């Protein structure tokens, strides 16, 4: 009994010492308090399966009051932005291919005459690269057509050949859906197209966040500062080896998806390589910034997870960012993974090249430059 009491006393003594150390660790306590609040807000406000602010294109081959009313009723659902009007089928296809729109509504000639006669037909082209959004958006448009009133008679919608989404069958108006880039709406294509982004985020943030703090703990940080190098040169020198490793991980992700599931990049491989560089640099820079803020390895690991979880949620890599409400969606624009997954899916699923990914590349370069400025401010070249 005495031995058990002594063991319990020893355990409590060690626990008291650790609690005293933890109580003075403001970085750890701050992260512990902020992280639950952040995740509550993310999962309570940011994640939704309901589309919002959907961009769409309309091609009206013979404008009439009836066709304009159909477009107005689709917009009145509240899920869509004001439509972009195009003059040709080719122009609408290009908007879809570039990711500038989720759907193209084609209203044919003689729509008014055919609709009043009970045999009207419209075509709906949907961006299947985001299966969840495409299925939901197509269903909303189908509901509008189902309840559309043309000259005092109700029009019903009939689905054409393609994935079933529960649309009804007898018809006065036939809505013919067609899904681009992912005709079968497989979720696997959506996730595997951005797999490289998820893997690289985990690698870059985890590896680089331990760099400077590891040197501080081992006592070599002061030796590094004594070298005739600037803080930026130190940072870039530390990042380069991880860049090479990151391209190896990218190759594994692309080859694995291609050989295992037949999902190969349809677009430019060169554009994919160029897009990856600023993303890797920006992700590594976040890790270095974390490492410059914390004092221990444990703090670095904890804050790295703190950054990784919001990146997965806000970037749109798991759930399309278009489903997020205003404010939350804009916050996600500062996350490097947001822009990388946009570029990845444009190259892998849509067959894009440099013309389609120049904006994500510029955004990633801007994020990297801003992070370098913060790191330079944090890493003051002084000893002690």
Domains and CATH numbers, the chain: 56-180 (3.40.1710.10), 187-378 (no CATH)
In this structure, is the dihedral angle defined by the CA atoms of residues 359, 361, 366 and 370, taken in order, positive or negative? Answer: positive
Per DSSP, the residues of 176-240 read EEEEES-TT--HHHHHHHTHHHHHHHHHHHHHHHTHHHHHHHHT-HHHHHHSS--HHHHHHHHHH
> Is-contact 281 368, C-beta < 8 A?
yes
> Is-contact 150 121, C-beta < 8 A?
no
In order of 130, 183, 271, the CA distances from 135 in angstroms are 9, 11, 29
Q: How far apart are CA 27 and CA 19, in angstroms?
A: 14
Q: How far apart are CA 82 and CA 194, in angstroms?
A: 29
Grouping H, G, I as helix, E, B as strand and the rest as coil, residue 125 is strand
- Hey, what are 147's tokens? 């309840």
Q: How far apart are CA 72 and CA 105, in angstroms?
A: 12
Spatial CA neighbour of 273 closest among 359, 340, 336: 340
pLDDT by residue for the chain (384 residues), tens digit each? 777 777 667 667 666 666 676 677 666 566 556 656 665 565 556 555 567 778 888 888 888 888 888 888 888 887 888 888 888 888 888 888 777 787 888 888 887 777 777 667 788 888 777 777 777 787 778 777 777 766 544 444 443 334 444 444 344 455 655 666 666 566 677 778 888 898 898 888 887 777 666 666 666 555 655 656 666 677 777 778 888 888 999 999 898 888 888 888 988 999 999 999 999 999 988 888 887 777 777 777 777 877 887 888 888 887 777 777 777 778 888 899 999 999 998 898 888 889 889 999 999 999 999 998 888 787 655 434
- Hey, what are 282's tokens? 């920006």
Q: Please tell me whether the overall predicted TM-score, pTM, comes out greater than 0.75 for this model.
A: no
């Amino acid at each position: 009994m005495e031995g058990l009491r002594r063991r319990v006393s020893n355990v409590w003594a060690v626990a008291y010492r650790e609690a005293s150390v933890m109580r003075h660790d403001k970085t750890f306590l701050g992260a512990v308090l902020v992280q639950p609040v952040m995740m509550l807000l993310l999962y309570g406000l940011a994640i939704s399966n309901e589309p919002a602010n959907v961009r769409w294109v309309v091609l009206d081959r013979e404008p009439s009051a009836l066709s304009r009313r159909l477009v107005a009723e689709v917009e009145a659902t509240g899920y869509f932005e004001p439509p972009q009007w195009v003059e040709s089928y080719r122009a609408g296809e290009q908007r879809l291919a570039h990711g500038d729109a989720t759907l193209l509504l084609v209203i044919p000639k003689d729509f008014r005459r055919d609709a009043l006669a009970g045999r009207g037909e419209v075509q709906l082209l949907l961006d299947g690269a985001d299966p969840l959004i495409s299925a939901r958006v197509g269903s909303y448009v189908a509901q509008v057509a189902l309840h559309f009133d043309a000259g005092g008679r109700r029009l019903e919608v009939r689905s054409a050949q393609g994935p079933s989404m529960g649309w009804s069958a007898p018809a006065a108006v036939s809505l013919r859906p067609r899904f681009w880039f992912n005709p079968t709406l497989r979720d696997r294509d959506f996730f595997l197209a951005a797999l490289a982004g998820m893997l690289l985020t985990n690698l870059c943030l985890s590896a680089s966040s331990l760099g400077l703090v590891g040197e501080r703990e081992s006592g070599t940080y002061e030796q590094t500062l004594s070298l005739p190098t600037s803080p930026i040169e130190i940072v870039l020198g530390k990042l380069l080896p991880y860049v090479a490793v990151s391209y190896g991980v990218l190759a594994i992700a692309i080859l694995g998806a291609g050989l295992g599931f037949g999902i190969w990049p349809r677009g430019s491989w060169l554009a994919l390589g160029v897009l990856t560089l600023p993303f890797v640099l920006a992700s590594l820079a976040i890790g270095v910034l974390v490492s410059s803020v914390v004092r221990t390895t444990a703090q670095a690991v904890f804050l790295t997870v703190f950054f990784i979880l919001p990146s997965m949620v806000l970037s749109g890599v798991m759930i399309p960012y278009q489903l997020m409400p205003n404010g939350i969606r804009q916050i996600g624009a500062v996350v490097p993974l947001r822009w990388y997954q946009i570029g990845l899916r444009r190259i892998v699923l849509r067959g894009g090249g440099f013309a389609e990914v120049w904006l994500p590349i510029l955004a990633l370069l801007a994020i990297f430059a801003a992070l370098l400025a913060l790191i330079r401010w944090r890493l003051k070249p002084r000893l002690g």
